[in-house]
Structure 1
Amino acid sequence: MSNNQPHLRTVNVTRYIAPLREGGSLPAIAEADDDFLYVLKFKGAGQGPKALIAELIGGEIARLLGFKVPELVFANLDEAFGRTEPDEEIQDLLKASEGLNLALHYLSGAITFDPTVTTIDSKLASQIVWLDCLLTNMDRTARNTNMLMWHKELWLIDHGASLYFHHSGLNWKEQALKPFSLVKDHVLLNYASELEEVDKAFKLILTDEKIHSIISLLPDEWLTERSFETAEEQREMYFQFLSLRVANSEIFINEINHARETVI
């Protein structure tokens, strides 16, 4: 696990290949000027930059904790990029997304994780459930696992539905100290039997310094919440939310154990 300061490359999108109709951020497969394919997430989609903020924070925290996550990059869309797109809906999306967007390296040939086919050991299951409760990620259910099998390894994708407190306008301090009741629907809940051990290990990794280094990656142009006077104030909100949640992880661990007792 690297101790280096996290860094995201910036690529320029050169070709829009195909839309991926699933997902609230209306992602697409696109090619960039480094000749790689990416799953491109647009800041001009329905949930706006907040979905990209959650994707970046969730993905980089997962990577820090040792999970396999496709490389995240900033993806720049030139203002002229969408002019030749014949589909008006896509053209409008591209126009609304000029500037920095977010993209994940496309895992060609990957298949969706199926819990009835692939067995996950209790430690890994506990690690994933802990992560998703920290992030309040509602999108890891049996209906939509947001996990892929690629080269016989498990990869985590799509954290854009995390940190949903930032859509509601509610008090973030209150939300940080709430359990995550939606864990009852988590696809790996039944297997998460090593939470205490995982909690100790992950809290040693997720120091305030590490959390701050990830939050510092957020570009100013995504931090447009009007209730904050500056982008730095909005970054501080995300930092404080996560720091407080890590420090009080017993709140969501108790909720996980309660949910396990209910379903097992």
Structure 2
Amino acid sequence: MLKEVIATRYVTPLREGGSLPGIVEADDLGTYVMKFTGAGQGRKALVAEIICGELGRRLGLRVPDLVRIQLDPVIGLSEPDQEVQQLLRASGGLNLGMDYLPGSLGFDPLAFEVGACEAGRVVWFDALINNVDRSWRNPNLLVWHGELWLIDHGATMIWHHNWPSAEKAVAKPYDASDHVLAGFGPDIAAAAAELAPRITEELLTAIAADVPDEWLADEPGFDSPDALRRVYVTTLLARARTIGDHITLGERSKDKPSQAPEWLAGKPPRRAVK
């Protein structure tokens, strides 16, 4: 189970995108980027953060450590922004935190070289989870201590917003033409050979168990959180077997709109804040 901490101080909002995450300090003396259950994306974005973030970490990719954070909205009473106040009031209880990486820089493909092996592993992973939000428009990558870190997985597994589509999603191809690492010659075949065998039912079941029951409860068509966890497991397990053969690397689009869902559309470029 993910470590659980209690937020002790709300430091500042990160004014990027629609979710308005914030930096908080916690009772373990750690500092975290906190994502809220009361944000417009809802709890499914946090479910995706846990499943995909923990899966990436167990595959050897660099993802900031995740924690469960208990929030008492009273800690934000001194925050003058009404939008932030409303978000905190709507998010009392359990939320999600990512380890804050002080001094990290937003990834710039013109300034930071990525090897074909690492690029291939990231592209294959994003294809597996159907990540539509790691493009040249919005990389969702950080450089910290000279290494590449993956962040922001809320816009993944789009099928869990429409569960009847999950079966078809297993075989859905992945167009990586606009992926921010497409220009580094990603070795997708090598990544598939290395990573696909590591996606096991046991691994995915253990990761799904990290998602709090309360974020899975009352999902239409499922009679329990465990029943819903099972579908996450079976969908990703089946997708891992063949996705390496269905990744396209074509010419990068210039004016094609982002494939990200509506609640992510229009996000400004990420600044070096985390």
TM-score for both structures, normalised by structure 1? 0.89
1:207 and 2:212 equivalent? no
Figure out how many residues of one structure are paired with residues of the other and give that number. 251
Q: Which amino acid aligns with 1:208?
A: E
Pairing of 1:99-248 with structure 2 (within 5 A): 99-181=93-175, 183-224=176-217, 225-248=219-242
Pairing of 1:18-33 with structure 2 (within 5 A): 18-33=12-27
Structure 1: which 5+ residue stretches go unaligned?
1-6
Q: Report the equivalent of 1:60.
A: 54
1:254 and 2:254 equivalent? no
Secondary structure in 2 matching 1:213: helix
Contact map agreement 2:117 2:191 (CA 8 A) in 1: yes
Q: Which has the higher helix share?
A: 1
Partners of 2:113 and 2:40 lie apart in 1 by 35
List, as ranges, runs of 4+ consecutive aligned residues in structure 1 with deviation greater than 3 Å.
79-86
Secondary structure in 1 matching 2:38: coil
Partners of 2:96 and 2:186 lie apart in 1 by 34
Partners of 1:109 and 1:234 lie apart in 2 by 38
Q: Report the equivalent of 1:78.
A: 72
Partners of 2:236 and 2:163 lie apart in 1 by 17
* Offset of residue 29 of structure 1: 0.7
The Cα RMSD (Å) is 1.6
Partners of 1:170 and 1:24 lie apart in 2 by 27
Q: Report the equivalent of 2:258.
A: none
Structure 2: which 5+ residue stretches go unaligned?
253-274
* Offset of residue 221 of structure 1: 0.9
TM-score for both structures, normalised by structure 2? 0.86
Aligned-residue identity in percent:
44
- Say which structure, 1 or 2, has more relative contact order (CA 8 Å, 6+ apart): 2
C-alpha deviations, 1:45-77, integer Å up to 9, x for none? 001110101111111111011111111000111
1:112 to 1:79, Cα distance in 2 relative to 1, 3 A: closer
